[in-house]
Chain A
Amino acid sequence: MYRNRRFIVGALIIVVAVGYLIYTGVRETSVYYLTIDEFLSRREAVAGEGVRVAGRVAADSMQWNASTLDLRFRLANFAGSGGVDVTYNGVLPDMFAEGRDVIVEGTYAHDGVFRARTLMTSCPSKYEAEVPKT
């Protein structure tokens, strides 16, 4: 029994190590994941913090400068209303277009502009995410 107890201690060390890594990992790397409507209702509270927002690129809102790679568009909700202005610098993902669902990750500033660090098109499950029939 004594030997087994020693083993339980050894196993516990690993379990605690894994738990600790997960705990600190979550604390240091997690960001809020909000829909655009949730974001709009609490945008002042999350200003300055890293946040991930899902929405739809509003029609006729996309301004793209191919020489400076500057992008500006309006992230609206799925009904196409409301929204926030988003800026981004970099190459556009292939699937990015007006009317598409996208996820932006970055920070919102009090000047009313969301500066996106990353731009994800809404099927990051590259294989195939189910599209519910609505």
Chain B
Amino acid sequence: MIELGALALRLALVAAVYAVLAAVAGARLRRTDVVASSRAAAYAVNALVVVATAVLLRALLQHDFSLEYVAAYSSSTLPTQYVAAALWGGQQGSLLFWTLLLTTMSTVVHLQNRDRNQALMPYVTTTLMTTAIFFLALTVFVTDPFERLPVPAREGADLNPLLQNYWMMIHPPSLYLGYVGCSVPFAFGMAALVTGRLGDVWIRTTRRWTLFAWFFLTIGNLLGARWAYEVLGWGGYWAWDPVENAAFMPWLACTAFLHSVMIQEKRNMLKMWNMVLVLLTFTLTIFGTFLTRSGVVSSVHSFTQSGLGPFFIGFLAVVIAVSVALLYVRRPLLRSENEIDSFLSREGAFLFNNLLLVGIAFATFWGTVFPVISEAVRGIKITVGPPFFNKVNTPLGLALLFMMGVGPVIAWRRSTARNLRRNFTIPIVAGVLTGVALLGAGLVGNYYAIVCFSLAAFVIATIVLEFYRGTRARQALMGEPPATALVHLVNKNRRRYGGYIIHVGVVLAFVGIAASAAFRVEEQRTMRAGDTVEVGGFALTYKGMRQADNPHVASMLAEIEVARGGRVIATMFPEKRFYKRQQQPTTEVAMRTTWREDLYLVLGSYDQESGLMTLQAFINPLVIWIWIGGVVMVLGTVVSVLPTAAEQRALAAALAVEERGLAVWSE
């Protein structure tokens, strides 16, 4: 069986190479049969990778410890769902999983475009399959998931206990879907560059793919934060760790791309910029995979020792070199057909939003790779920590929040004073009032947080106003009752109103992040059974220690009685676990979540002899709104991804123009 998996990967590599060669040759020679064979090869690559993945999954589920991967990342006592999750728990498996997602998406793209985009498709195939070749080559030649142990192990080393958590089961697949999804718009962008068909067809064709990728990147980031919050037990959800930054940077670039394509669709501008952004997004996804896989930044070992590093850097260098060369050659065709008329216009607002997003991405990139750069330049590693990222990204993030209120409602081309008054008077008043009210309520000390809340009120007011005015207009025009008018309003322009809903979600997340960053309360106390500690209005009484034991883990649970205002409101059990297979302790946080705050308890340490227990208690305000914001973003994305008739017509029209051009071209 194992040989079948290894063979499938090798055949997939061969098929992918054929797909690239046939696609290019077919397009050059205008031989549709050759192009068709490249498509067939791409399907075959997908099928073979599915076989390889199935073989590895089967080996995991059957606990075949003669396989190095299975022995390294699972064990016979590991619960089945985590055995399956071990498929992406280790390096080889996660690269295989990447390839699986990529080739599956390639299949979907080819099916969707069977009869469309005839000119672009061969180069889409080329780009996707070249990426597949890279990952297949890694799994075949560098880190083979099907490597056998010289002597089969009797038992596996088990999955890292930190990964044995349900958030960790869905976080990596979600993030990978996001990463891999970005290669589709990139592939179409490259095809547009190669063929010189630089209209908006490639953008309209991939709009949904971009949203899809953005959606999963968003969820992936939030799930990662949620996982860190629940599992790592240091009281927070985001530490600007290189691995977190690796997921955050493509999200930023993808968000910028998602916005700037609208300018190209509406005004035929920013063509070059869009190409740069799609290239940036794709390279950041590859770079992100590289960061998580090579440990180049966080590792104490130097870069050259990392087995995968040079391959990733090489691939990135090729991608960037080819893309930049194409951009240079196509420069005349990418010139804008229009100019921006005024700062005070939607184009201007979007451009600044883009610059801010890219600015944040750049600052994050710089902070992440700074140790590597300083070592290369000055021969000594210098590192920056969370304070750097907070210091740089907080003002940029707030400026971005402001633009989020301005961008969607400011007029195209040039705003008149009347337009500005109409759209911004109420929101500005709402923002200022919020700020004044918060200061009046005695919430002084952290001005960034207060600015954030004021801006949040400003943005929400612009959005509410949009919904209100749109609904009123329909009521007046169609004589519909308010609820019907609202539903029809959203339905008529799902993309726009879905976007607003996403913005509401982002605002909620901003509020949760600002509140929990600025007003968090933290207390650490060593206690004996019976002791009570007061933290931010809660009285926490340590009642005693409980023990539990099973073949997989042993655990200790501190019983903590929580009282507020003299009334007992909960009993919580912060826990220390000891994973026997790995001889490793882990911390299991106990949490009590309300709309206002999370009470977050960690069992810091316990001394059996003296009976002393150290409790860490955190009160994190408004954290739940980050996750609620995430859910709202999901809803908004669902609304905006559903196609409307008008949009289908726009794509059909753009394609028709394209096909006519093609007919002329082939005569």
Contacts and interface: CB of A to CB of B under 8 A. Distances in A.
B91 A22 contact: no
A57 to B, nearest CB: 13
B610 A29 contact: no
A86 B242 CA distance: 26
Contacts of A123: 295, 298
A21 B398 CA distance: 14
B359 A18 contact: yes
B647 interface: no
| Most chain B beta-carbon neighbours within 10 Å: one of A67, A126, A127, A134 | A127
A130 B295 contact: yes
A3 B341 contact: yes
B241 A125 contact: yes
Interface in A107-133: 122-130, 132
Q: How large is the interface on A (under 10, 10 to 19, 20 to 34, 35 or more residues)?
A: 35 or more
Interface stretch (B318-326, B554-562, B584-592): B584-592
B300 A126 contact: no
A34 interface: yes
Given A11-B351, A18-B359, A91-B604, A130 B299 contact: yes
Interface string A1-45: 001101100110011011001101110111111110010000000
Given A125-B292, A132-B305, A25 B241 contact: no
A122 to B, nearest CB: 6
A129 B299 contact: yes
Contacts of A76: none
B359 A14 contact: yes
Contacts of B418: none
Nearest to B528: A67
Nearest to A34: B381
A130 B293 contact: yes
A123 B291 CA distance: 13
B307 A67 contact: no
Given A21-B363, A125-B292, A130 B308 contact: yes
A66 interface: yes
Contact of B380 (A32, A105, A126): A32
A69 B527 CA distance: 12
Interface stretch (B39-47, B382-390, B425-433): B382-390
A126 B232 contact: yes
A26 B587 CA distance: 33
Contact of A7 (B299, B348, B371): B348
A69 B526 contact: yes
B90 interface: yes
B359 A127 contact: no
A127 to B, nearest CB: 5
B306 interface: yes
Contacts, number: 160
Interface string B602-625: 101111001010101000000000
B294 A130 contact: yes
Interface string B380-413: 1111110110011001100000000000000000
B502 to A, nearest CB: 23
A29 B340 contact: no
B356 interface: yes
A33 B352 CA distance: 36
Contact of A129 (B298, B342, B387, B616): B298
B384 A130 contact: no
A103 interface: yes
A97 B8 CA distance: 42
A94 interface: yes
B301 interface: yes
A123 to B, nearest CB: 8
A38 B381 CA distance: 10
A21 B362 CA distance: 11
Contact of A94 (B294, B381, B586): B586
Interface of B: 89-91, 160, 162-163, 172, 228, 232-233, 241-243, 291-295, 298-301, 305-308, 339-343, 348, 351-352, 355-356, 359, 362-363, 366-367, 370-371, 380-385, 387-388, 391-392, 395-396, 524, 526, 584-587, 602, 604-607, 610, 612, 614, 616
13 contacts: A3-B340, A14-B355, A17-B396, A21-B392, A22-B392, A25-B387, A26-B367, A30-B383, A30-B388, A33-B382, A125-B243, A126-B232, A128-B91
5 smallest beta-carbon distances between A and B, as pairs: A129-B295, A66-B607, A91-B604, A33-B381, A18-B359
Given A26-B370, A30-B388, A132-B305, 5 more contacts: A18-B392, A26-B366, A26-B388, A66-B614, A125-B298
